[in-house]
Amino acid sequence: MSNNSNSNSNSSSSNNNRYKYKYKVVKLMYKMMMMLGNDDPEVVNKDKSSTDNIPKLIEVSQKPRIYRIPKFLTDEECEHLIETSKNKLKPCNEISSGVHRSGWGLFMKEGEEDHPVTQNIFNRMKTFVNLTESSEVMQVIRYNPGEETSAHFDYFNPLTTNGAMKIGLYGQRICTILMYLADVEEGGETSFPEVNVKVKPIKGDAVLFYNCKPNGEVDPLSLHQGDPVIKGTKWIAIKLVNQKNTGSSAP
């Protein structure tokens, strides 16, 4: 019995040592990446008047950094994104992993983001953030009544092997631009439960929120969710802005 006990103890100790070593390596990798490039795409424009033809940025929260951008999209741009997507949608649980979404969506295919309408939207985004080439392809999602997105973080967790790997390949997801393509009669708010903030979906408006703090650390206050749609249909488009310019897009 003593031999088995010693064997189990040695095995447990070995596993703990491997875990501690793995944790230290992942943590060191993250620190090195922060030292090599903390190019946080800070907000460029905080108070442009409407006469500049640039949508105004309104601060909703300082911690986490959340901004509302009224009339970010035109009606024509909203309709374009809906019309080009509505016949290609798939259940979100088939196209996204790690986040519970009960809606329908798609990731734009290569070439679709080159459409002049989409390029105009991206150029407008550059007014507010540094839109790097490694930023991920835009996603369009539709929610019918009863459908929602559970609370989640958009950032890659740097203390996990998978998260550290994705940061190395694609760069950290510094911020998110969420655009509302249609009005919702009731429900469907974008909620930040840690700070008790809710943003009502209004056609053409956008929400810019940061998943990381100014020093590059992930921000746990950025936890967010899409509340259930009660009445009407919710359409959104999402653009995740990554830190590094690697020429790649995360899946």
Q: Is 27 helix (H, G, I), strand (E, B) or coil?
A: helix
CA separation for the pair 13, 226 (Å, rounded): 43
pLDDT number for residue 53? 62
pLDDT number for residue 96? 60
pLDDT tens sequence across 44-86:
444 433 345 668 899 999 999 999 999 999 999 999 999 999 9
Residue 29, pLDDT > 90, answer no
Listed by start position, the domains of the chain span: 37-242
Nearest CA to 116 out of 69, 83, 77 is that of: 77
CA separation for the pair 133, 228 (Å, rounded): 33
Q: What pTM does this model have?
A: 0.78
Neighbours of 142 (CB within 10 A): 21
Residue 88, pLDDT > 60, answer yes
pLDDT band with cut points at 50, 70 and 90 for residue 37: very low
Residue 180: strand pairing partners: 236
pLDDT band with cut points at 50, 70 and 90 for residue 100: confident
CA separation for the pair 119, 191 (Å, rounded): 28
* 224, 66 Cβ separation under 8 angstroms: no
- Average pLDDT over every residue of 159-175: 93
Residue 32, pLDDT > 50, answer no
Task: Please provide the CATH number assigned to the domain covering 37-242.
Answer: 2.60.120.620
Q: State the average pLDDT for the chain.
A: 82
pLDDT tens sequence across 203-245:
999 999 999 999 999 999 999 999 999 999 999 999 999 986 4
pLDDT band with cut points at 50, 70 and 90 for residue 93: confident
* 55, 70 Cβ separation under 8 angstroms: yes
pLDDT number for residue 123? 92
